[in-house]
Amino acid sequence: MAVYTEVSDDELRDFMREYNIGDVVSIKGIAEGVENSNYLLQTVTDSDTRPQSYILTLYEKRVRPEELPYFLGLMDHLASGGFSCPTPIHGRDGATLRELSGRPAAIVSFLSGMWPRKVTPQHCAELGGAMARLHLSGADFDGYRDNNMSVSGWEKLVAATQDRADEVVPGLSETIVGELEHIRGNWPSDLPQGVIHADLFPDNVFFLGERLSGLIDFYFACNDALAYDMAICINAWCFEADASLNITKARALLRGYASVRKLSQDEYDAIPALARGAALRFLLTRLYDWLNHDEAAFVRPKDPRQFLDRLRFHQQVDGPGAYGISFDDLNG
């Protein structure tokens, strides 16, 4: 179970006095998630005895407390504009962020749905449209956060892992160092910028059937190239277990996005480089966690080799058409 910080009854009782959402009738740790401690919280009020569900999150040491106002403010902004995502619950004093059990903590609304265990092209099309709506909805958000998991962040991860990378795959260290050098010289610039989610893996996207019901887990959100979000999703949604790209899924994802927000020619042309960088980003973070895993931890780290296979695919493509669609068809 991914609950790193336990909450006592007395601490919870005092914490809930700061809110006007009723009395707690149940609290249960949520097994999924690796960064924070999450609880499903249910409350009732005097006027309505039907339980209402919320998510209580305690932010653990990997989250910088000074960045939490950006994340919570972004969710508040998106939800107020009608975008489907968890809404931070304001306390009696108007604040959304406070402390519980020695950790920064917040309560957000409960989002109905389940993440897809078997991704279909329809899921990808729905995701593409939702991602574009997120980008448009975030255009007037006044917060700003650099992407600390872009090229400069990868350089730090390479330095922290290169001495032991070959323990995972022989020759991996040389592969990563060479790839980083390539990306330094070829990373796209001057692409349209804005708020991106930056972690839209299937377990952060909820569906009711094949209809998308909302996005969760905005704790890697930042300001960066909008097309980089698409590149992350190609890596996260469009590859099969044998490391082959599912062209049908990639085409559905890109078409779904372009049906809401048209891509520029520069964004389309940058897809291979951005997808290659996104594969390296997740290879490096998974590699770091794999090499530095605490055996006593609740959550087993994810295998970095999956993203090595995807990186190798991107290294071989000869242009954006390899992802299933031409620029004219995409924006036609």
* Phi-psi group of 329: left, alpha or beta (phi > 0 → left; psi -120 to 50 → alpha; rest → beta): alpha
pLDDT in tens, 219-265: 999 999 999 999 999 999 999 999 999 999 999 999 999 999 999 99
Which residue, among 233, 219, 55, 198, has the nearest Cα to 127 in the 3D structure? 233
Other Cβ atoms closer than 10 A to 136: 16
Question: In this structure, are residues 163 and 291 in contact, taking their beta carbons and an 8 Å threshold?
Answer: no
CATH number at 9-109: 3.30.200.20
Other Cβ atoms closer than 10 A to 63: 18
Percent of the chain with pLDDT over 90: 88
CA torsion sign for 68, 232, 250, 141 is: positive
CATH superfamily of 121-331: Aminoglycoside phosphotransferase (APH), C-terminal lobe (3.90.1200.10)
Helices marked H in the chain: 9-16, 68-80, 121-137, 151-161, 172-186, 226-237, 247-258, 265-291, 305-316, 327-331
Which residue, among 114, 119, 124, 325, has the nearest Cα to 241 in the 3D structure? 119
Whether the predicted pLDDT of 149 surpasses 70? yes
pLDDT in tens, 73-132: 999 999 999 999 999 999 999 999 999 999 999 999 999 999 999 999 999 999 999 999
User: What mean pLDDT is reported for the chain?
Assistant: 94
The predicted structure's pLDDT at residue 1? 40
- Indicate the helix (H) or strand (E) that contains 165: none
Percent of the chain with pLDDT over 70: 96
pLDDT in tens, 292-310: 976 655 667 899 999 999 9
In which band, very low, low, confident or very high, does the pLDDT at 36 lie, cut at 50, 70 and 90?
Answer: confident
Residues 6+ apart with CB under 8 A from 238: 124, 245, 246, 249, 250, 253, 323
**pLDDT, mean of residues 141-149:** 96
- Nearest-5° angle of CA 75, CA 81, CA 87? 35
Residue spans of the domains in the chain: they are 9-109, 121-331
**pLDDT, mean of residues 9-22:** 95
**pLDDT, mean of residues 22-29:** 94
Question: In this structure, are residues 37 and 60 in contact, taking their beta carbons and an 8 Å threshold?
Answer: yes
Give Cα 196 to chain centroid, integer Å.
Answer: 9
**pLDDT, mean of residues 205-218:** 96
**pLDDT, mean of residues 189-211:** 96
**pLDDT, mean of residues 200-223:** 96
Return the minimum-mean-pLDDT range out of 48-62, 197-211, 290-304.
290-304
pLDDT in tens, 155-189: 999 999 999 999 999 999 999 999 999 999 999 99
79 vs 185: CA distance, rounded Å? 38
